Amino acid sequence: MPLRETEALVLRTYRLGEADKIVSLFTRRMGRLRAVASGASRPKSRYGSALEPMSYIRLWIFERENRDLLRINSAEIIESFFDMQKDYRQQVATQYVAEAAELFLPEREVNERAFRLILVVLRALKRTGEATRPLLYFNYWLLRLGGVLPDLESCGNCGRALGDEAGYYGEGSEQLLCANCRRAAPYQVRATTRGLERDFRGLSLDAWISAGPAAPECKELRRFLEEVVESHIGKKLVTRSLLAGDT
Ligand SMILES: [Zn+2]
């Protein structure tokens, strides 16, 4: 059984029997996968806090052919995002990142840019306590790296440029529609909101946050991109409803 070393982010854990845990991980060198951590539910587990949700860890893992579940040999923490989750808003924002990543990223597909994206987003959440721009940036780049970011400048049905007009969407939308094509799409993304993309697409998240307070339109764009993420996943994100009242 070859033993492999990789960095990873812990997305979530599930109990397995009395003493063990199944750990859902996004690893740097092996992509997203699930692995068993023997004894991880015991009070004095040898993993310590390394398997807490969204811990950034180094782990050694046994790879066995023809088995879905791998086995964790050992893990050590590189950077913890545990303390910041004592704040409810940060906890929910962190859980949103974990839930969306787990459902959106394909299994066993190495994605270095997505790995770095999640780290950048977690660090910004931890450093600033702001959820709006880190989550907007996360949704935007998750969709863009996945090749499914909708065109924000033209109608997804007729192709007409939206210009100064609002774009519209409804539940399950993966595109914005113009006023002629919108039919029953009840939500709008105004032109000024779509213009936000020009503000941040060439910036690092840190540079964008350092440039000043979040524009009020950020929430409107984030909601649309959350809808698109959900549409591609094909199910509702539990954490999205918890974020709804958030700034
Ligand atoms: Zn149209």
Interval 92-117: pLDDT, tens: 999 999 999 999 999 999 999 999 99
Question: Distance between CA 118 and CA 83 in Å, rounded?
Answer: 17
Residue list, CB under 5 A from ion ligand 1: 155, 157-158, 178, 181
Q: In angstroms, what is the span from residue 231 Cα to ligand 1's centroid?
A: 20
Task: Give the residue-averaged pLDDT of 41-69.
Answer: 86
Measured in angstroms, how far is the CA atom of residue 182 from the centroid of ligand 1? 7
Give the pLDDT band of residue 210 (cuts 50, 70, 90): very high
Return the number of other C-beta atoms located less than 10 Å from residue 114's C-beta.
21
Domains plus CATH for the chain? Answer: 3-79 (2.40.50.140), 87-243 (1.20.1440.120)
Per the document, the length of the chain is 247
Distance of CA 230 to the CA centre of its chain: 11
Q: What is the residue whose two structure tokens read 């007729």?
A: 158
pLDDT at 37: 94
- The answer to whether residue 247 scores a pLDDT higher than 80 is no
- What spacing in Å lies between the alpha carbon of 70 and ligand 1's midpoint? 48
